Amino acid sequence: MKLSDFGQSIAHIDLSTGNCRVESAPQDWVEKFIGGRGLGVRYALEAGPEVDPLGPENRLCFMNGPLTGSEASMSGRWACVTKSPLTGTVTDSHQGGWSACRLRWAGLDGLVFEGQAENPVYAFIEDGEISLRDAREVWGQGVHATVAFFRERYGKKNLSVNAIGPAGENQVLFAAQVNEDDRAFGRGGTGAVAGSKNLKAIVIRAGQKKSEVSDSKAWKEARRQALDTIRDEANITSPRKGGLSVYGTNVLMNVTNTIGALGTRNSQLNSFGERAETISGEWVEQNLLVNDPTCHACPVACKKEVEIKDGPWAGLRMESVEYEPAWSLGSNCDNSNAASIAKVIDQCNDQGMDPIELGNAFSVWMEASEKGWVDEGEELAWGDEAAMVALTDAVAAREGVGAILADGPTRAAESLGHPEIAMAVKGQAVPAYDPRGLKGMGLGYATSNRGACHLRAYVAAAELGVVPSEADPLAWEGKGELVKTFQDLHAFSDSLDLCKFSAFAEGAEEYARQFAVAMGKEFEAEDVMLAGERIYNLERYFNNLAGFGRGSDTLPARFTEEPSTAAGSKGHVSELDRMLVEYYAVREWDEGVVPKVKLQALGIL
């Protein structure tokens, strides 16, 4: 497995005709857009930004990065890029587990699906060969049963299954794809796109391959330097010592609650008070944790497997009660029971749905019920766990109220005549950081190219004092530049494709060094930032062509007009307009639109 050969084996699969060909990506694309997210967006752009996301012309691109499946730490990821049915923007989502590595070990760098199969199919991949096979037997099955079915058929050894569940088949607009039972391409509705194409699963069989790099000594050294930063006890990634490693992502719950940035009851409140405790990472670790699984080549092991010991879901064993769903299904829905949160997350893994979007759809319906905007008999009370569990399956099946919520919180709120209660940007629901208490995160949501997202610009790392570039969470000044820097850095790491959490330890220097040695070329930290900027602008260009022009970078009025009532952020709103002025200036954009001269300067046009 020669790492510098990356990009030479991209499979194009036409599901309408069954034709499949493997070819090299244009060299120019690989140089400019690196791999993973960047290269995937370039392929998606080729289909045209105006395609119907659920039509056969839309492309569903699975793209490895140049480091995927290598010995580099946290390198087990791939990107899924497509035009989102939820937002109408380009979207990319990333997945841990082992599917990405196995694709690389099977001799392929990416898969570009287009068309629509007549009957349900799955792609079987081994030794660089791809075949489309009949999936009618598993159509209608959940992810867990689908994974079990393929393990039974092909054996467990060296096998990864990436599948959609009923939600994807029914084109729930926020359907996910899940591999290894619980590692998801979570956001943006990539599962609905797979469902629209009748693509049930991608099944890959391949054993681990060793990387070949021309300068093996330098490769070892570059990896060692990166690993040293991950292991450094000062970093949250430090194995079994850092907060991320010990508690997983849900180590955040108590801190966002403390600073008044934990949205509660559909963000009508900004803190969950003492009730945050029982949905926090610390509580889960002390009461439910049974195992700390990991991903390929990752010593952090932030995944947290839990077992529910009593109550109606006793015996449930699942991973993971991550911070995002613990918020979306927890304080956001006024629910302080970690067991019911675990139950709904596991249902989401099985049905193949994004729990962030689902929790926001619930909280919209709960607020509307409270205000009397929901028809009698269809109400959902705050914190009604049993109803949430029942409704989760109804959403996946598009039954009853579930059919309304299956189109996401934005459309659900619109259907009630109250679009203002959807906490969303460009049609995608906000994640777990209230922008009144973390101002940079709000700017990140508004300017994310895939709709509201915490991961495009994870400036919470600076605003919570985790990385050296710390920033006051309540100050708006300077956030324009900070958000741009984080967006560009993450656009690069998502293209390599390394786990996002590598950025809690590594930076542009470590990324550049590993990439340069792997590819056998000169590459410096400033090249990392330039490539990241190019990729971010490419996505924005896609969105501009898809109809997102001036005025598209917004936040719900609740965040800009209703002051926080919680300690830590009391009296604050998001000063989005001021931050946008700063942001557009550093981006050299015209009110959210990339000018031609910028596209030319970055080599996009």
- Binding partner of residue 243 among ligand SF4, other proteins, none, CB cut-off 5 to 8 Å per kind: other proteins
**CA–CA separation, 488 and 511 (whole Å):** 13
35 is in the binding site of which of ligand SF4, other proteins, none (Cβ under 5 to 8 A by kind)? Answer: none
Query: What is the residue-wise DSSP string for 295-317?
Result: -TT-SS----EEE--SSTTTT-E
Q: Does 122 bind ligand SF4 (CB under 6 A)?
A: no
Q: How far apart are CA 278 and CA 581, in angstroms?
A: 40
Minimal distance, residue 502 CB to ligand SF4, in Å: 7
CA angle, 551 as apex, 547 and 556 as ends, to 5°?
Answer: 110
Short-list 361, 372, 374, 362, CA closest to 410: 361
Residue corresponding to tokens 């302080």: 336
- Minimum separation from the CB atom of position 595 to ligand SF4 (A): 36
**Six-digit token pair at 412?**
């659900």
In terms of CB distance, is 248 or 480 closer to ligand SF4?
248
Residues that bind other proteins (CB under 8 A): 234-236, 241-244, 246-252, 254-255, 258-260, 281-282, 302, 322-324, 454-455, 458, 460-461, 464-466, 468, 470, 472-475, 500-501, 504, 566-570
Q: How many CA atoms lie within 13 A of 30 on its CB side?
A: 20
- Minimum separation from the CB atom of position 352 to other proteins (A): 21
* Closer residue to ligand SF4, CB minimum distance, 247 or 548: 247
Q: Should residue 499 be labelled a site residue for ligand SF4 when binding is judged by CB under 6 A? A: yes
Q: What phi and psi values does residue 387 have, to the nearest 5 degrees? A: -65, -35
How many CB atoms sit inside 10 A of residue 516's CB? 18
Q: What distance in Å separates the CA atoms of residue 436 and residue 415, rounded to the nearest whole number?
A: 27
Contacting ligand SF4 within 283-302 (CB under 6 A): 294-295, 298, 300-302
Q: Please count the helices (runs of H) and the strands (runs of E) in the chain.
A: 24, 17
- Provide, rounded to whole angstroms, the least separation between the CB of residue 182 and other proteins: 16
294 binds, among ligand SF4, other proteins, none (CB under 5 to 8 A by kind): ligand SF4
What is the H or E stretch that residue 82 is in?
Answer: strand 78-83
Measured over all CA atoms, what is the biggest interatomic distance in the chain, rounded to whole angstroms?
70
Q: Which DSSP category does 236 fall into?
A: T
Q: Which does 143 bind (CB under 5 to 8 A by kind): other proteins, ligand SF4, none?
A: none
Specify the residue, 135 or 474, whose C-beta has the smaller distance to other proteins: 474
Phi and psi angles of residue 204, each rounded to the nearest 5 degrees, phi first: -125, 130
Q: How far is the CB of 77 from ligand SF4 (least distance, A)?
A: 7
CB of 540 to other proteins, least distance (A): 22
Task: Report the first-to-last Cα separation within the chain, whole angstroms.
Answer: 33
CA distances from 357 to 253, 303, 353, 374 (A): 18, 21, 8, 20
Sorted by sequence, the CB contacts under 8 Å of residue 188 that are 6+ apart come out as 82, 84, 86, 87, 91, 92, 93, 174, 354, 428, 450, 451
Q: Measured from the CB of residue 80, what is the shortest distance to ligand SF4 in angstroms?
A: 16
Which of ligand SF4, other proteins, none does 23 bind, CB closer than 5 to 8 A by kind? none
CB of 507 to other proteins, least distance (A): 15
Nearer to ligand SF4 by Cβ, of 265 and 500: the residue is 500
Which of other proteins, ligand SF4, none is residue 236 near (CB under 5 to 8 Å by kind)? other proteins
Residue 491, contacted partner among ligand SF4, other proteins, none, CB below 5-8 A by kind = none
**Which does residue 300 bind out of ligand SF4, other proteins, none, counting CB within 5 to 8 angstroms by kind?**
ligand SF4
Report in angstroms how near the CB of residue 74 gets to ligand SF4 at its nearest: 4
Q: What is the DSSP letter of 454?
A: S
Is residue 534 within 8 Å of 262, Cβ to Cβ? no
Distance from chain centroid for Cα 232: 26
Q: Which of ligand SF4, other proteins, none lies near 578, with the C-beta cut-off 5 to 8 A by kind?
A: none
Q: 96 is in the binding site of which of ligand SF4, other proteins, none (Cβ under 5 to 8 A by kind)?
A: ligand SF4
Which of the residues 66 through 105 are near ligand SF4 (CB under 6 A)?
74, 96
Question: Binding to ligand SF4 by residue 455, rule CB under 6 A?
Answer: no
Query: Which of ligand SF4, other proteins, none does residue 464 bind (CB under 5 to 8 Å by kind)?
Result: other proteins
Q: Indicate the residue among 54 and 301 with the shorter CB distance to ligand SF4.
A: 301
The residue among 259 and 496 lying less far from other proteins, judged by its C-beta, is 259
Comparing CB distances to ligand SF4, the nearer of 245 and 340 is: 245
Cα 49 from Cα 540, distance rounded (Å): 11
Q: Are strands 177-179 and 20-23 parallel, antiparallel or unpaired?
A: unpaired
CB of residue 307 to other proteins, shortest distance in Å: 21
Q: 242 or 263, CB closer to ligand SF4?
A: 242
Would you say 1 or 301 has its CB closer to ligand SF4?
A: 301
Q: 498 to each of 77, 250, 297, 316, 432, how far by Cα in Å?
A: 6, 21, 11, 31, 23
Q: How far is the CB of 475 from ligand SF4 (least distance, A)?
A: 29
166 binds, among ligand SF4, other proteins, none (CB under 5 to 8 A by kind): none
Distance, CA of 71 to CA of 221 (rounded, Å): 12
> What does the per-residue mask of binding to ligand SF4 show for 301-320, with x meaning CB under 6 A?
xxx-----------------
Q: Crossing angle, helix 36-47 and helix 479-496, to 10 degrees?
A: 90
501 binds ligand SF4, rule: CB under 6 A: yes
Which does residue 301 touch among other proteins, ligand SF4, none (CB within 5 to 8 A, set by kind)? Answer: ligand SF4
Distance CA 292, CA 299 (A): 11
Query: Given the rule CB under 6 A, which residues bind ligand SF4?
Result: 74, 96, 294-295, 298, 300-303, 499, 501
